[in-house]
Structure 1
Amino acid sequence: MNKKLAGSAVVGVAILAIVVAQFWRGSDEAPAAAPPAPSPSAAQPSMEEYDFPDVSGGRGWAIRIPVPSGWVVTHQNDRASYRSGDLLLETDKVPITQEDTLSGLQAIAAKAHYDGSVVKPVEAGDIQDAAEWDYTYLRDGTPERVTVVGLGAGDSLVTIRFEAPPAEFDRDRGVLDAALKVSAPG
C-alpha cells in the first residue's frame, strides 16, 4: 500500500473521529420548542364583503366583515360559511321588510321557534343599526349554541352567525367578536 495513501486515510479517520465526538456529545442547550399551533380565534382574518350599489348613481358602499383565514370556506349565493372543526362562522345578506334590524331579526327568530331566543340591540363596528339573537338548538341530537348578529343595510339584513358546542362557545367567542369589527363607510 502506498505510504501517502495510508497517511491520508489515518488523517481522514482522525478528523472524522473529532467531528463525530463533537456531535455525539450533544449540546448543552435544550432544543427550541415548536411554536404552538394558532387557535381558531388567533388566525389572521380575511374579509367577506357585501356591496350595496347606490341606486341614484353615487359611489355605493360595502360592509366588510373580518373572517378567519385558514378555515374551510364555502359560498352559496350571498351566504359564506367558514368552518373549523365544530366551529362555524357564517355571513349572509337577506332582504327584510321591517323598518329596522331589531324587528327584522325578531321576525326571523319568531319563525324559528327556538326556546329561550332573545333578540337585543348591540354595537357592531361601524354599523349603527345592529341586533343580536342568542339561542340553542339540537343538531342531530347534539346541542349547538348560536349567536346571530344582524346588521342594518337599507332593505337588507347582513347577518353574522357563530355556532359552537356549548362547552366551546365561550372559549371561542373571540371568532365572533373579531367578525363584529365590521367596517362600512362613515
Structure 2
Amino acid sequence: MNKKLVGSAVVGAAVLAIVVVQFVGGGEEAPAAAPPPSPSMPTTTTLPSQGTLEAYNFPDVAGGRGWSIQIPVPTGWIVTHENDRASYRNGQVLLETDKVPITQEDALSGLKAVAAKAHQDGSVVKPVEAGDIQDAAKWDYTYVRDGYPERATVIGLGAGDSLVTIRYEAPPAEFDRNRGVLDAAMHVSAPG
C-alpha cells in the first residue's frame, strides 16, 4: 500500500473526527456566553436633552424682573436634591450643580477662593466661556477619595452675590469617556 495514501487517509479521518465533534458535540457543554458588559459611556438617553434643565432663579432686583441660570442636566441618572445642590449620578460619574454665596467680585476670584480653601495641589483656575454667562471660570484638579484618584472640573458662573457651580467628577479612566455630559451642561442659558 502506498505510504502517502495511508498518511492522507489518517489525516483526513482525524480532521473529520474533529469536525463531527464540533458540530455534534463532544460530551462537554460549551460555557454559556457572558452577558455583554454594561456600557460605561452614557447613552443618548442619559445625555442632557432639550428641556431637561436645573434652574437657579434670582429675584427681582431694584424693580427689574427676575432672571435665572438654566443648566442642561442628564436624563435617566439618579438625582438627589439638597437645598440648592442637585446631584446627578451614573455609576462613578457625577454631575452636580449648586449655588453658593461669594464675597468676591467675579466668578474667577470666587472660584480661586474656593480652590485655595480646598488646598488642591496642582489645580488650575482660569476664565472660560459657558453659554450665555459672561462671567465664568473653570477649575481642574485631581484628588484621592477612598484610596482612589478622582478627576474633577468645576465651572463657576457669576450671578451677583452668588456663584452657581457645575461640578463634573469621575475616575480618570471614565473622565474623558463621559466628558460629553459636562460639555452639554456648559451650554448654560440665562434668559433675561
TM-score by length of 2: 0.75
User: Larger deviation: 60-69 or 44-53?
Assistant: 44-53
Per-residue deviation, 1:37:
7.1
- The aligned residue for residue 177 of structure 2 is 171
Unaligned runs of 5+ in 1: 1-35
Per-residue deviation, 1:55:
2.5
**Could you say what secondary structure the match of 1:89 adopts?**
strand
- The aligned residue for residue 156 of structure 1 is 162
Q: Does the 8 A contact of 1:41 with 1:68 survive in 2?
A: no
Unaligned runs of 5+ in 2: 1-37
- The aligned residue for residue 6 of structure 2 is none
RMSD over aligned Cα, in angstroms?
A: 1.6
Q: 1:40 aligns with which of 39, 42, 45?
A: 42
- The aligned residue for residue 100 of structure 1 is 106
Residue 40 of structure 1 aligns with an amino acid whose one-letter code is P
Does residue 58 (structure 1) correspond to residue 64 (structure 2)? The answer is: yes
Identity %, equivalent residues: 77
- The aligned residue for residue 144 of structure 1 is 150
Q: Does the 8 A contact of 1:145 with 1:166 survive in 2?
A: yes
Per-residue deviation, 1:39:
4.1
Q: Does the 8 A contact of 2:95 with 2:168 survive in 1?
A: yes
Per-residue deviation, 1:44:
4.8
Q: Does the 8 A contact of 1:48 with 1:67 survive in 2?
A: yes
**Could you say what secondary structure the match of 1:114 adopts?**
coil
Deviation by residue 1:69-116 (Cα, 9 ceiling, x = unmatched) = 000000000000000001000000000000111010000000000111
TM-score by length of 1: 0.78
Does residue 133 (structure 1) correspond to residue 133 (structure 2)? The answer is: no
Distance 1:178 1:41, change over 3 A: farther
Residue 72 of structure 2 aligns with an amino acid whose one-letter code is P
- The aligned residue for residue 124 of structure 1 is 130
How many Å separate the matches in 2 of 1:100 and 1:126? 16
Q: How many residues align?
A: 151
- The aligned residue for residue 9 of structure 2 is none
Residue 185 of structure 1 aligns with an amino acid whose one-letter code is P
How many Å separate the matches in 2 of 1:155 and 1:50? 13
Q: Does the 8 A contact of 2:47 with 2:181 survive in 1?
A: no
User: Larger deviation: 67-76 or 57-66?
Assistant: 57-66
